[in-house]
Amino acid sequence: PRETGNSKEKRFLCMFCNKGFSCPQKVEIHQRVHTGEKPFSCTQCHKRFAQACDLKRHQRVHTGEKPYSCPQCDKRFSHQHHLKRHMKVHAR
């Protein structure tokens, strides 16, 4: 990653699109969008991911883990955005 001196907060730049980041690790992860690199692989189905957190979330497909629960009806979800969508049912 290239470093720029004009901003303390986002001084590391993507070499492809010049988007700024606060640390070199974040720009390296971002650059995978441009390179297509997917270094994290599921051991069960071999699907590949650019970020470890995406692999971890994917693995719930295989484990059946549902860590997000509705505080009103105790229904459980594997992804947080599914819980957020469900919560609209209770808002009516």
Reported pTM: 0.74
Domain boundaries, the chain: 38-92
Q: What is the mean pLDDT of each run of 10 residues along the chain (92 residues)?
A: 63 96 95 98 98 96 97 95 96 85
Residue 2: what pLDDT? 61
Superfamily of domain 38-92: Classic Zinc Finger (3.30.160.60)
Residue 1: what pLDDT? 63
Residue 88: what pLDDT? 95
Q: How far apart are alpha carbons 83 and 4 in whole angstroms?
A: 40
Q: How far apart are alpha carbons 21 and 63 in whole angstroms?
A: 34
Beta bridge mates, 68 = 77
Residue 73: what pLDDT? 95
